[in-house]
Amino acid sequence: KQEVTQIPAALSVPEGENLVLNCSFTDSAIYNLQWFRQDPGKGLTSLLLIQSSQREQTSGRLNASLDKSSGRSTLYIAASQPGDSATYLCAVSSSGYSTLTFGKGTMLLVSP
Amino acid sequence: SAVISQKPSRDICQRGTSLTIQCQVDSQVTMMFWYRQQPGQSLTLIATANQGSEATYESGFVIDKFPISRPNLTFSTLTVSNMSPEDSSIYLCSVVGRASTDTQYFGPGTRLTVL
């Protein structure tokens, strides 16, 4: 059974810092990995999707990497801003059109 | 991309009653899912909503408690039956885009509180 772990559970940084969120998964036979953002009381917003054949994806200040063989992914946020404050969720799928297994998330607080 | 709406956005219900949550997608999709997010926890899959047939439930979830309908490729409902305070959660529907390599899109969620 796939298990997804995210470290740290919570992170507080001052504005402008670069930061890294970590995600690990137990079964390396994944189809893709996604990073989501969840704001309090709201649904999920997809940030980045990495296919199993890819090593990284970038969107603006966000960069996600994937090392499938070691079961790890990182989400790098450059020049953090207070608007980045949210819970970041990592999720993996085992095949196309399949369901996602989620980690518990990292709660990020960026202070002005 | 897919735009998903859910109704209601939130509700407060009494123990023993039932609530039906609606999920509407702006385009036809193959796969629709229902997730639950209990307070302080991550998302847990309840079931896959299959068009024209019975939903496929995950371990720990049963049809009598969470009946699901999916009459067409753009709409699904989840009912939370005979509610107890332990059912207080955010319920989210999600869909996979047109391609199997596409991202999953999530609705805004329904925040349910059971008293």
pLDDT tens, position by position, B2-25: 889 999 999 999 999 999 999 999
Say if B73 is an interface residue toward chain A (CB within 8 Å).
no
Among B105, B98, B107, B67, smallest CA distance to A100 is for B105
CB spacing of B108 vs A43 below 8 angstroms: yes
Among partner residues B45, B101, B109, which is closest to A32 by beta-carbon distance?
B101
Q: Per residue in A3-29, pLDDT tens?
A: 999 999 999 999 999 999 999 999 999
C-alpha distance from residue A27 to each of A53, A92, A97, B22 (Å): 15, 10, 18, 34
Pick among B101, B111, B112 to test the A interface (most A CBs inside 10 A): B101
pLDDT of residue B42: 85
Say if B104 is an interface residue toward chain A (CB within 8 Å).
yes
Q: How far is B52 from chain A (nearest CA, A)?
A: 18
d(CA B89, CA A34): 23
CB spacing of B111 vs A41 below 8 angstroms: yes
Locate A30 and state its tokens. 């994944």
d(CA A24, CA A7): 8
CB spacing of A100 vs B45 below 8 angstroms: yes
Say if B59 is an interface residue toward chain A (CB within 8 Å).
no
Phi-psi region of B57 (alpha: psi -120 to 50; beta: other; left: phi over 0): beta
pLDDT over 70 at B98, yes or no: no
Say if B106 is an interface residue toward chain A (CB within 8 Å).
yes
Q: Per residue in A42-98, pLDDT tens?
A: 788 999 999 999 999 999 999 999 999 999 999 999 999 999 999 999 999 987 667
pLDDT over 70 at A2, yes or no: yes
pLDDT of residue B50: 85
pLDDT of residue B28: 87
